[in-house]
Amino acid sequence: MKVMLIYPLPVMSRKAEPNWLPLGLSFIASTLRQGGHEVIIFDRYASAARFGPDKAKIDGHMLQTLLSFKPDLVGFNAVTPLIYDTAACAGLIRQEFSGPLIAGGHHPTAMPELTLQKIPQLNGVVQGEGEIVMPGLASGKDPLSLPGVWWKNGNVIKGSAPEQIADLDILPFPALDLLDMEFYTHPGKKAIKAQYLSSVSLITSRGCTRRCAFCTEHLTYGKKVRMHSPGYILEWMHKILADYRINAFYFHDNDFLADKERAALVCEKIVEAGLHRKVKFAIQARADHLDPKILDLLKRAGCTLIEIGLETDSQDQLNSINKGTSVDMNRLAIEMCREAGIAVHAYMMQGFEGETINDLEQRLSWIKAAGGTFTVSLSNLQIYPGTALYREKGNSFFEDNPWTREEINNYYRTDHLSAVSSGERLAWTKEKLTPELRRRNRLAILSGNSMRTIVRIIFDKVKKKISA
């Protein structure tokens, strides 16, 4: 069978910049190919690098691709904040295509029946990991015989609970050749923050034992952590290095250090293979899993950046989202990384319940006091279906409202919990927060790049300003 997979487009005001890869669809594509199917991935984000943020051009190109490839099955990757894009694409594609349309990913996993009701063009949705069921669907098996598949027959929707892949090492490496790798491997500031490296991202574990109130991880990948073995990871890294000219890897596991023994083995194998002389790498980890020994190993293996979900400087706020970490732990994590000579990028949040401008000021002082190479991105605490936060504070938004771009963007731009209005926050951010984050970013660029790269970055910026 011929399968077309579609990756959604976020709201963008500029050309797309290289970022982490859509690995979920690439893994599905490689398992489908293993089953003898022909697959393409239509990446709406990467298309925005080619066409700029012109949605009409990207839609047109998607339809042309559909008409020339003539798929038998079309599958969408669907995340909650972009579900309006999935809905719009399903509407467009249905005008030209009468075969089965399905969606998978975090959003349909959280609300399978509602997704089928709200996006009437869809025939089915898949909960959990797509690699298990897609080869079955593409071979024409009865959808309802496959775990995690929900199917619509007239007004009747039926489905079953998903299963998880017990041994991740059975998966063929993701089909990166179906992506625009020239775009994704272009050196940029996003993939490995402030370090202008040409990189490829990998994910080497799935699932989480924690239950942070805002997170859907356990729904899609389960309540235990499953991991690829060090052998699989090294083989994968070698394959990527043979296929692409890059100088870095990014491991976007929720917590690369969830099993420190495995992490240590991966580092040892990287050094044994001499890869630490050719490439750098970055990881994501929890603050409570860092210690000097593992940091030393990571550093020796070439790790230059650790991204940590510090979330906030307030213990009450950490407790309110059930993070299971403490402010002291966070401080210690930053200190340990500084001593080890590894940069830190902190993911932090705003928009906590009852938050005031004073809280924002305190968070900013906390960020200012943090030493070392410490960059920060601050995002709003978002309320996703399937989470404890949605059950308590979501006000049944997705059940009660249309899934349009306006409604959904408005929902995710509104402060639902804090005492600061969106307008006040915006003004405060512009005046106080942004200058500090920019200053930190500049320092990180200066300390994390060679003089030649710095000159190139400045040259590119000037060129952009002149052409704007």
- Which stretches of the chain bind ligand B12, using CB under 6 A? 7-8, 10, 19-20, 22-25, 27-28, 45, 75-77, 79-82, 102-107, 126, 129-131, 134, 203, 215-217, 220, 252, 254, 384
Minimum CB distance to ligand B12 smaller for 323 or for 372: 323
Residue (206 or 280) nearer to ligand SF4, CB: 206
Query: Pseudo-torsion of CA 252, 255, 261, 264, nearest 10°?
Result: 40
Residue 75 binding: pick among ligand SF4, ligand B12, none (C-beta 5-8 Å cut-off by kind): ligand B12
Decide which of ligand SF4, ligand B12, none touches 212; Cβ closer than 5 to 8 Å per partner kind. ligand SF4
- The full length of the chain comes to 468
Give the shortest CB-291-to-ligand B12 separation in angstroms: 23
* Measured distance CA(31)–CA(172) in Å, rounded: 6
Residue 172's binding partner, choosing from ligand B12, ligand SF4, none, with beta-carbon cut-off 5 to 8 A by kind?
A: none
Q: Using CB under 6 A as the criterion, which residues of the chain lie in contact with ligand SF4 when the complex forms?
A: 208, 210-212, 215, 217, 254, 286, 309
Minimum distance from CB of 281 to ligand SF4 (Å)?
20
Q: 461 in helix, strand or coil?
A: helix
Q: Are strands 73-77 and 2-7 parallel, antiparallel or unpaired?
A: parallel
Q: What token pair was written down for 197?
A: 């490296």
Q: Which is nearer to ligand SF4, 225 or 248 (CB)?
A: 225
Q: Compute how many other C-beta atoms are within 10 angstroms of the C-beta atom of residue 57.
A: 14
Q: How far is CA 274 from CA 58, 60, 224, 285, in A?
A: 42, 46, 32, 24
Nearer of residues 255 and 359 to ligand SF4, judged by Cβ: 255
45 binds, among ligand SF4, ligand B12, none (CB under 5 to 8 A by kind): ligand B12
Nearest CB to ligand SF4, comparing residues 132 and 208: 208
Closest listed residue to residue 212, CA positions, set 361, 290, 312, 297:
312
Which residues, other chains included, contact 150 with Cβ-Cβ below 8 Å and sequence gap of 6+? 108, 112, 113, 116, 124, 125, 126, 127, 157, 158, 159
> Least distance (Å) from ligand SF4 to the CB of residue 135?
28
Min CB(98)–ligand SF4 separation in Å: 39
For ligand B12, the closer of residues 161 and 468 by Cβ is 161
- Judged on CB neighbours under 10 Å (0-12, 13-18, 19+), 245 is exposed
Q: How far apart are CA 250 and CA 27, in angstroms?
A: 17
DSSP 146-194: STTEEEEETTEEEE------S-GGGSPPP-GGGS-HHHHTS-BSTTTTT
Residue nearer to ligand B12 on the CB measure, 203 or 295: 203
Shortest distance, position 64 Cβ to ligand B12, whole Å = 21
The site partner of 148 among ligand B12, ligand SF4, none (C-beta below 5 to 8 Å per kind) is none
